[in-house]
Structure 1
Amino acid sequence: MFRTDPETPDLFITPVDEVFIRNHLGPLPRLDRATWSLTVEGLVERPLRLDFPDIQGLPQTRLTAVHECFGNPLRPDVPTRAVTNLEWAGVPLAAVLELAGPRPEARHVWLEGADTGDFAGESGLSYLKDLPLDQASAEVVLAHTMNGEPLRPDHGYPLRAVAPLMFGTNSVKWLSRIVLAADRPDHLFTTRLYTRVPPGGREAVPVREKDVSSKLLTPGDGSSVPAGSCALAGYAWSSTEVTSVEIAVDDADWQPAALDRRGPDPAWQRFRLRYDLAPGPHRIRCRATDSAGRVQPLTGDRNAVHEIRVVAGAGSPPAGRA
């Protein structure tokens, strides 16, 4: 998922070869761009069937965004920390919907992939997600390119949805069908899984916007470093801008780290702190806060603070640069 080489702590874009792969259904669809098509139907004035040249002929956009797996929907509180930062190119969903002409009663967008199979005791499923129409129109991109190259088969070739402010479960791969509807679909992956009760809430809501999170990358977990000044660095991300990151070593107080601002795209933000490590073993933790006031919990949730353990001592390899 990450490179943890202390000489390359600033790896901002995740190489495609290191991007995680998560699939619910199988076997994976092997689609031919020459015969693939995308249908747009339901509550629209003009139902569509678009082939790949049609997609290429629409207005194109590019963005850099964090792509994060929510985790196993059967264990929603367990941290997975599967996260990458990627460059996407494709067509704004809004351009496709403008061609179709949503009817006034349309409130939801259903996104369906070409993958089918069995999951959690249910058979004959397709992968289906839904989003509010207004939000999907404003945010979702139909991507055909990742990091400057066509999508690979495992990542949704030839076209996938990318919901850049949301968990990856909403970024449907192998996109084959878009439906506009007045209501949400009752489906395993929409109303029965990928839901959770938010802090202070009583009712389950769909898993959509990313939590505030952070991860230490330098030094690597379990590594040996020289005693003395050590560069501690990593990345933080959220559905909104991260405003601060703190680092704690062992039982010492939390210290503010230097944090890069987030640019116009919803990419992750690098943080770093130089710290004097005494000889011996150490536990190092990081904690992020975002502009919505959300703070990573210390324990007990999927975005609980990340920690690494290192040993500081004479004769260890260099500990990287801040």
Structure 2
Amino acid sequence: MNSSKIVFQNAVRGGWFKNGSRFVHTIRPTPRSSVKLQFVLLGTSCLAGYIYLNKSKGHVIHAKSTTILDSAGSQTPGLPVFRLTEVSKHDAMDKRVWVTYKHGVYDITDFVPKHPGAKNILMAAGSSIEPFWETYAVHKNNKEVYRMLEEYRIGNLDERDFRDQSKVSDAQDPFANEPKRHPALKPSSEKPFNAETPPGMLMSSFYTPNDIFFVRSHLPTPEVNANQYELEISGPGMAEGVLTLSDIKKFPKYTVTSVIQCGGNRRSEMNAVKALKGLNWEAGAIGNATWSGAKLSDVLQASGVSESVVQKSKHIQFEGYDVGADGSPYGASIPLEKGMNPFGDVLLAYEMNGEPIPRDHGFPIRLVVPGVVGARNVKWLNRIILSDRESDSHWQQNDYKGFNPSISWDDVDFSKSPAIQNMPVTSAICTPESNELITPGKLTLKGYAWSGGGNKVIRVDITADGGKTWKEADIIKQEDVTEPHHYGWTLWKVELDVPKDSESVEVWSKAVDSSYNVQPETFENIWNLRGLLSNAYSKKIYHVK
């Protein structure tokens, strides 16, 4: 029998320490800042962990082990057992906020103020957090989320209540009626469904086909009946108006070629530098399409938006038909001058690549804001509100903002950063994929480049020697150069010489736009805790046969 003695100081909350065998412990209660705990663990191994002393009850609640990541919410011997009736009493901050997950009971009161979606997480107060995760499913299957949750473990749920809560029918699943998706898409989450286009397939067409266009959803996909569709429009001093789909189609029809890119595209490359939170997108959370519909400026003017209304407004808010567990819709906003400008090209789009917009992409009406981060391109558009302030939605106020690399989740203040609008210049090497075997001789590379705000990509530079020498890539396709704004992407290719004696070659790409913005060289200096605006050089390594 092996035994180990471990001294823990400055103890903080952690997950339950599981040794696979019995253990004994002694505790000398001291102030929390200098808690000293001594364990004699009996068994075949000793797993590193940490302990938290519950001063109110005078006993140890739990200690953390790496094994908890695989067993979050499991039945944990030695903890207090609570009935759901007791948990339900803790449904507000002044009563302490308790939630359950599987067999676990958690006091998350201290965590709630740190959560950017505090309003939403309180929906689970006094009950199971699992329905909350079904709607905000980016939390599911996220080991970091489970680890954080286990830090707040206080007990086990009574087995009788566990069995009752486990009886969740498909009819209660908000994702039970999702559309079918193309099998070529690479999912990064199932609920809500988020998936990207394989990089090689992006090179097959200047216009990304609808069925393999990347899908970004924050909530369950609504099913909107086109015949019953209504779009509400309101503003200061305005009588609320309602438009049907047929009303919108009576306006002059415009077509705009525009990229839509997720704010977290290429996040996996930033995550490789330092861990962060967010879907682990590679380079395929982007697509280029033609969008057809009515100009937002035309619709607003026809809806009675007078000069006095404009003077009282600074922003245009948008809400979708997709709603969270509390009934709140997905929301975002853009500056008034972008939406009201007839040359801003903002559309209420009902066609994508010449076809009715697919359900995954916002049927029957999607807001298309060219050059702006995808999060503002609200799908399944339900309401337009002119206002003197931005949307108060979570995705406008507490997400899709950038911070300096030293800001962490402990000191982040979302109110101090503006919401992302125009996207920065970027490029990506799409083929061949990284770590592929190549032969000496000519190596052909293909990729895309794009810049937000209507800027045109004027050049893509390629280097295979760490930046000592550069070669300009050939442009395969981009928008007509006579257009005043360039919202579509640029497809490019380049041929490089690979010497016979090479074992490997590392290739970098960087794009330059018409304002002479250029990509930063590394991710270290643009790292941020949500992995947004991930636009450093695209770097690929190839091994030579």
Q: TM-score range by the shorter chain?
A: 0.7 to 0.9
Partner of 1:292: 515
Counting strand residues as a fraction of each chain, which structure ranks higher? Answer: 1
Secondary structure of 2:382's match? strand
- Aligned residues of 1:76 and 1:196 also touching (Cα < 8 A): no
- After TM superposition, give the deviation of residue 19 of structure 1 in Å: 0.9
Partner of 1:4: 200
Over residues 116-174 of structure 1, what are the superposed CA-to-partner deviations in whole Å (9 max), with x where a residue is unaligned? 115xxxx4431111111111223211111111111111111110101111011010000
Q: Distance in 1 between matches of 2:237 and 2:349?
A: 22
Letter in 2 for 1:244: R
Partner of 1:241: 456
Larger Rg: 2
Secondary structure of 2:215's match? coil
Partner of 2:383: 177
Partner of 1:307: 539
**TM-score, with length taken from structure 1:** 0.86
- After TM superposition, give the deviation of residue 303 of structure 1 in Å: 1.0
1:141-290 alignment runs, 5 A limit: 141-197=347-403, 203-239=416-452, 240-251=455-466, 253-260=468-475, 262-263=479-480, 264=483, 265-279=486-500, 280-290=503-513
Over residues 45-86 of structure 1, what are the superposed CA-to-partner deviations in whole Å (9 max), with x where a residue is unaligned? 453211111111111100111110002998489874311111
Over residues 174-215 of structure 1, what are the superposed CA-to-partner deviations in whole Å (9 max), with x where a residue is unaligned? 00100111222333111222222489xx94111110111001
Q: Distance in 2 between matches of 1:294 and 1:160?
A: 30
Change (3 A) 1:194 1:3: closer
Q: Distance in 2 between matches of 1:258 and 1:285?
A: 12
Q: Distance in 1 between matches of 2:297 and 2:236?
A: 15
- After TM superposition, give the deviation of residue 42 of structure 1 in Å: 2.1
Letter in 1 for 2:488: A
**TM-score, with length taken from structure 2:** 0.52
Secondary structure of 1:189's match? helix
Partner of 1:111: 318
Partner of 2:255: 62
- Aligned residues of 1:161 and 1:172 also touching (Cα < 8 A): yes
- Equivalent pairs, count: 304
Letter in 2 for 1:235: Y
Counting helix residues as a fraction of each chain, which structure ranks higher? Answer: 2
- After TM superposition, give the deviation of residue 221 of structure 1 in Å: 2.9
Partner of 1:92: 295
Higher mean displacement: 225-234 or 61-70: 225-234
- After TM superposition, give the deviation of residue 111 of structure 1 in Å: 0.7
Secondary structure of 1:172's match? coil
- Aligned residues of 1:109 and 1:132 also touching (Cα < 8 A): yes
Partner of 1:317: none
1:74-85 alignment runs, 5 A limit: 75=277, 80-81=282-283, 82-85=285-288
Q: Distance in 2 between matches of 1:63 and 1:252?
A: 36
Over residues 74-127 of structure 1, what are the superposed CA-to-partner deviations in whole Å (9 max), with x where a residue is unaligned? 848987431111111111101110112221312210010010115xxxx44311
Aligned-residue RMSD, C-alpha: 2.6
Q: Distance in 2 between matches of 1:141 and 1:198?
A: 33
Over residues 234-265 of structure 1, what are the superposed CA-to-partner deviations in whole Å (9 max), with x where a residue is unaligned? 11100111222211214352413235465324
Letter in 2 for 1:163: V
Higher mean displacement: 105-114 or 216-225: 216-225
The reply on whether 1:52 has 2:248 as its aligned counterpart is no
Higher mean displacement: 78-87 or 10-19: 78-87
- After TM superposition, give the deviation of residue 11 of structure 1 in Å: 2.2
Q: Distance in 2 between matches of 1:250 and 1:235?
A: 21
Partner of 2:213: 19
Q: Distance in 2 between matches of 1:254 and 1:101?
A: 58
Letter in 2 for 1:87: T
Change (3 A) 1:44 1:69: farther
Q: Distance in 2 between matches of 1:31 and 1:98?
A: 26
Change (3 A) 1:183 1:252: closer
Secondary structure of 1:134's match? helix
Change (3 A) 1:208 1:137: same
Partner of 1:318: none
Q: Distance in 2 between matches of 1:114 and 1:51?
A: 14
- Aligned residues of 1:246 and 1:254 also touching (Cα < 8 A): no
- Aligned residues of 1:46 and 1:99 also touching (Cα < 8 A): no
Letter in 1 for 2:432: P
Q: Distance in 2 between matches of 1:113 and 1:38?
A: 10
Partner of 1:320: none
Letter in 2 for 1:312: V
Q: Distance in 2 between matches of 1:113 and 1:244?
A: 37
